[in-house]
Structure 1
Amino acid sequence: MKIMQVVQRFPGGLMLIPLLLGALTNTFAPNAGQYFGSFTNGLIHGTVPILSVWFFCMGASIDLRATGTVIRKSGTLLVTKIAVAWIVGMLCVKFIPGGMIETGFFAGLSTLAIVTAMDMTNGGLYASLMAQYGSKEEAGAFVLMSIESGPLVTMMILGTTGVAQFEPHLFVGAVLPFLIGFALGNLDKECKAFFSQGTMLMIPFFGYALGNTINLAVVLDTGLLGIFLGLGVVVITGIPLILADKFIAGGNGGAGLAASSTAGAAVANPVIIAGMVPAFAPVAPAATALVATSVVVTSIVVPILTAFWCKRVNK
């Protein structure tokens, strides 16, 4: 059976298909973890420990010895993406004072969902697009962009916009596995080679665990809204990224457009942040569903737009 080939045909399939299976488990057998207990329960509800290992491996995969061009390109895209998410977060504080809209078409939309969908780029999608349509330096720019992985940037944005307050040690705890992996990977190339393998290996496991935090009834309720959120991410972050790529990083705008997606790992952030700040617990399920839909939408739209843009510019 060609299971892996089928999974990889879908945009972000390695993450999204296990996530869908987990959502089906949680929707139709919500007590399966407690019923089976032991390791099965750990797999179903082990989002945080599984993600902590993934963050460690991600840190180990990043090489400190990046070229100046790569640093310039990735730094420009990284700062622009975070800055746009922060500005949008500030606007959300003014227009969504309660944290989440509870009625009407926009019911379920929250500052947490919007910021989470916008502040992380799908690094794998970006790298594959730039390998096809850009330069080697542009493809390598995903290295620094991996800093966005995890809840740290989202926590910083939510904290500085006044949406939430985080104790300093929580910031340290959110980034410590990443930093330890980063240190080991750069001190020993064998550690780097060994732990880097885990970045892909862990994706289906935390995807399934994340899926078990989603009820498909919530996804159906927020599906159309999630599509609009995904399109909004491409437009709102894409335009500044294109301009920054052209006028600061010296590109043709293609790299900026390729970075205007929502990362698959962003789906985990609402649950992780709700675990740190219980006030977000009522918002987290809808935010998770919305971000998951945004991941799917941007994974489809961004490659199409990037291909069209790069072919037209190169011509």
Structure 2
Amino acid sequence: MRIKRAIEKIPGGMMLVPLFIGAICHTLAPDSGKYLGSFSNGLMTGTVPILAVWFFCMGASIKLSATGTVLRKSGTLVVTKIAIAWIVAAVASKFIPEHGVEIGFFAGLSTLALVASMDMTNGGLYASIMQQYGTKEEAGAFVLMSLESGPLMTMVILGTAGIASFEPHVFVGAVLPFLIGFALGNLDSELREFFGKAVQTLIPFFAFALGNTINLSVIAQTGLLGVLLGMSVIIITGIPLMLADKFIGGGDGTAGIAASSSAGAAVATPVLIAEMVPQFKEAAPAATALVATSVIVTSVLVPVLTAMWSRRIKNRAVKGKVIEEQMARIK
């Protein structure tokens, strides 16, 4: 059986399939973890410790040395993405209640859901798209996108936007595993290779544990809203990213569209933030469902939109060359 191959055909499948399996378990048998106990309970309820190990390995996988082009491109995209998420958070906090919207079509929508869906780019999706439609340097720009992974940037955005307050030691605790991994990975290339291999391996495990915090009825209730959120992520972050890529990063806008997705790791952010700030616990379940739907929507639409834009740019370049040749002949 080609189970892995079948799962990988689904956009973000290694994250989303275990997530929904966990959600099914939680929906049908919410106390199954406690009933089974021991290692099974640890696997079903161990979101935070599994993510801590993943965050450490993610830090170790990032190589400090990179070409100037790669750093310029990736830095432009990362800073733009975070800046847009901050603006959205500042504006949304003026209109959306702290615990999220409770009634109507927008029930479940919260500032937490908006920030979590917009402040991280799916680095793997971006790299695979740009390998096909961009340059090697553009594909390598995902090198800094890993810095967005985890709750740190979301904490910074919520904190600086005045939406939540985090004690200094909480910030340290959130980023310390990443920094230790980053330091070890850059001090020893063998450690970087060793820990880096675990990054992809751990994704299904924390996704399954995360799924065990979600009731599928919540996803059913927020489904259409989640689709609209995913489309909003592409529009709200995609346009500024395209402009930044073109006028700052030196590209043609293709990399900007490719970076306008929601990262699979963002699905875990609402729960992690709620662990640190209890005021978000009420909004976390619905936010998780919304972000999960946004991940699916952006994973499907972003490659299609990137391909269309790339084709348009290439056709325009070909027409430009033809016109130049014709003008040269006339002269």
Q: Distance in 2 between matches of 1:110 and 1:55?
A: 25
Q: Quote how far apart the aligned CAs of 1:162 are.
A: 1.4
User: Which amino acid is 1:249 matched to?
Assistant: G
Q: Report the equivalent of 1:48.
A: 48
Q: Report the equivalent of 2:132.
A: 132
Q: Quote how far apart the aligned CAs of 1:311 are.
A: 1.5
Does the 8 A contact of 1:70 with 1:137 survive in 2?
Answer: yes
Residue deviations 1:74-117, cap 9 Å, x none? 00000000000000001011111434111110010000000100
Q: Report the equivalent of 2:325.
A: none
How many residue pairs align between the two structures? Answer: 315
Q: Distance in 1 between matches of 2:96 and 2:31?
A: 34
User: Which amino acid is 2:182 matched to?
Assistant: F
Q: Report the equivalent of 2:60.
A: 60
Q: Distance in 1 between matches of 2:278 and 2:222?
A: 22
Q: Quote how far apart the aligned CAs of 1:123 are.
A: 0.3
Q: Report the equivalent of 2:37.
A: 37
Q: Distance in 1 between matches of 2:114 and 2:13?
A: 22
Q: Distance in 2 between matches of 1:248 and 1:233?
A: 21
Residue 247 in structure 1 maps to residue 247 in structure 2: yes
Larger Rg: 2
Q: Distance in 1 between matches of 2:47 and 2:98?
A: 27
Q: Report the equivalent of 1:156.
A: 156
Q: Distance in 2 between matches of 1:87 and 1:51?
A: 27
- Structure 2 spans left out of the alignment, 5+ residues: 316-331
- Please give the residue correspondences for 1:180-191 in structure 2 after superposition, counting only pairs within 5 Å: 180-191=180-191
SS at match of 1:113: helix
Q: TM-score, normalised by structure 2?
A: 0.94
Residue 92 in structure 1 maps to residue 92 in structure 2: yes
SS at match of 1:202: helix
SS at match of 2:6: helix
- Please give the residue correspondences for 1:181-220 in structure 2 after superposition, counting only pairs within 5 Å: 181-220=181-220
SS at match of 1:141: helix
Residue deviations 1:107-155, cap 9 Å, x none? 1000000010000000000000001110010011001111000000000
Residue deviations 1:266-309, cap 9 Å, x none? 00010001011111111100000000000000000000000111
User: Which amino acid is 2:143 matched to?
Assistant: V
Residue deviations 1:191-230, cap 9 Å, x none? 0110000110001001101101110000000000000000
Q: Report the equivalent of 1:227.
A: 227
User: Which amino acid is 1:101 matched to?
Assistant: V
Does the 8 A contact of 2:98 with 2:111 survive in 1?
Answer: no
Q: Report the equivalent of 1:267.
A: 267
User: Which amino acid is 1:117 matched to?
Assistant: S
Q: Distance in 2 between matches of 1:313 and 1:203?
A: 35
Does the 8 A contact of 1:55 with 1:177 survive in 2?
Answer: yes
The 4+ residue runs of structure 1 with deviation greater than 6 A are: none
Q: Distance in 2 between matches of 1:107 and 1:162?
A: 23
Does the 8 A contact of 2:60 with 2:186 survive in 1?
Answer: yes
Q: Distance in 2 between matches of 1:98 and 1:291?
A: 17
